[in-house]
Chain A
């Protein structure tokens, strides 16, 4: 087994103001060329996890515990500037909202070229040629003309392609995509996902793909991490998530999943609501909504219990329910 490119260990992120934790004891590892899916309902901390790894947490949040290693180097002990230097070189991120993620008053070509020039030391001419080639690669029609466009002149799908180009320009080893297709039309979603998968294969990227869409997981990820209310509920090879889900929350997610052909909307159909930050139940965070909950579930958060190779779930009843 190759050494992991990204290792997150016991990560905890809290509100800077109250200290209420948003994610807790999150650990994961990601190998070069591997795609790890992160699923969970809205508010489960998927974006916070991604931003923490990138070193892009907003001021209101702070990492309070845990380690993040990239290519064997510890990131959490780096100075902010040294961490900054890792971004756009070793790691890049594609954001959820292509409408607001691009600078509205800068031509999109320049938003790509500035990475090539400032981070890869290219001349303006080389950067322009490279940006044109990248636009071609991500299937933006008429690349030379599109380089001169402003974001508002492009469709959502085109903007997300520009975002992907920006991420690729850095030639990162780790690519984090935070719900890259949520804001797009269904037909465009499939195209963007295909593109991401192809690029990942082509470049041997380690891809951390955040989604709330189990269909996406089935299509392009190798392994899956299920987050619930800021904690890992289950981690498993993608196939096993569908064939042998171990955590009751994962099962509920699967049960509430719309037909593969239907619209992929947010997961809303699990009974009850996600507990809110600062008001987490003392035991298993899913217990209040769980039909299998028993006494011990209410007292302490369950540890991850291995149930097969590379498969673990944070549920005290893993063995019995399997």
Chain B
């Protein structure tokens, strides 16, 4: 188990190293002078020079590399040019917003998706199965932003039961928070629900055809008991895998959904930075997103070892 984790951690570290090189290099991929790109065409050479110094671009490359790594190792992602504040603080401040949105969507899509997949698998080939699968396929093919807009039009504009956008922190008002997060969470969850439902069904069908299910059947256990104690636990590895993929995809999805619902999360911060060519935020954001993805993957790996004793041996 320990060896397994060490190997996974080492792999994650390598990826992080690669991403750090990449995000450092991004600034060099910009045609021309990054400082000049950020500033308007009308900026004086003096202003450009000052910004270059601020970004450390005046120093020799080797020096810049050393500074970059000594900074990020301390968790300091630099200062935003636009917001004139630390990138790390800006991200941390917005993190709860994004995480709560992605987290709620994740719970929604896993619970509904796994349940739907289980129903479909147990009613394999029957009308219920076909209905669930058609629904899942439909959900899968709806773009998130479009669903978001439709939800706004129906529930916020026409019915007027939920706000059109914005974000109320739970510390301010719990009901306000739930009301503000419901539509974006649903918009994000539907696609992933369909995805998880299909994967769960496929994984369960595969498991339910195996010999040990027949053994469970020979014990006279109820169908529900067999499904929950023998079927599902053996289908958890593929379900965990898609859950990991979905968690990553949800974080990506928040970028768009935060725009649609004007939610001040990390996604909007990064989009804003890209549009205004705020390089330190782009670099820091990239590194941060990579860190989140790797953490998710590591968690999934740990879960593998928990649900399947055979994984611990590998």
Which residues of A pack against B, CB within 8 Å?
Answer: 54, 56, 84-89, 92-93, 95, 97, 100-106, 114-115, 118-119, 150, 152, 163, 166, 170
Contact = CB atoms under 8 A, between A and B. Distances in A.
B133 to A, nearest CB: 19
Contact of B221 (A54, A88, A102): A88
Interface string B205-218: 00000111011111
B310 A104 contact: yes
Which 10 pairs from chain A and chain B are nearest by CB?
Answer: A88-B220, A87-B220, A100-B211, A88-B219, A150-B309, A103-B212, A93-B218, A101-B215, A101-B211, A115-B219
Contacts of B313: 152
A166 B218 CA distance: 10
B273 to A, nearest CB: 45
A163 B218 CA distance: 11
Contact of B214 (A88, A95, A105, A118): A95
Given A104-B212, A105-B308, A118-B225, A87 B234 contact: no
Interface in B290-314: 307-310, 313
Interface in B253-287: none
A97 B307 CA distance: 24
Given A89-B220, A92-B218, A118-B225, A152 B230 contact: no
A102 B307 contact: no
B234 A103 contact: yes
Given A95-B214, A105-B308, 14 more contacts: A88-B218, A88-B219, A95-B211, A95-B215, A101-B211, A101-B214, A102-B212, A105-B234, A106-B230, A114-B221, A114-B229, A118-B221, A152-B309, A166-B215
Contacts of A118: 219, 221-222, 225
A145 B206 CA distance: 31
Interface residues of B, number: 23
Interface of B: 210-212, 214-222, 225, 229-230, 233-234, 236, 307-310, 313
Q: Which of B214, B217, B218, B310 has the largest number of chain A CB atoms within 10 A? A: B218
Contacts of A95: 211, 214-215, 218
A89 B230 CA distance: 20
A150 B310 contact: yes
Contacts, number: 79
Contacts of B221: 88, 114-115, 118-119
Contact of B215 (A102, A119, A152): A102
Contacts of A115: 219, 221
A97 B308 CA distance: 21
A79 to B, nearest CB: 13
Contacts of B210: 100
Nearest to B209: A58
A93 B210 CA distance: 16
A139 to B, nearest CB: 21
B310 A152 contact: yes
Q: Which of A86, A88, A97, A119 has the largest number of chain B CB atoms within 10 A? A: A88
A170 B310 contact: no
Q: Which of B219, B222, B225, B310 has the largest number of chain A CB atoms within 10 A? A: B219
Contacts of A119: 219-221
B216 A103 contact: yes
Contacts of B233: 103, 105-106
B311 to A, nearest CB: 10
Contact of B218 (A54, A85, A100, A150): A54
A97 B225 contact: no
9 contacts: A84-B217, A88-B220, A93-B218, A95-B215, A103-B215, A104-B309, A105-B234, A106-B233, A114-B219
Contacts of A84: 217, 220, 222
Contacts of A102: 212, 215
A73 to B, nearest CB: 15
B217 A56 contact: yes
A46 to B, nearest CB: 16
A134 to B, nearest CB: 14
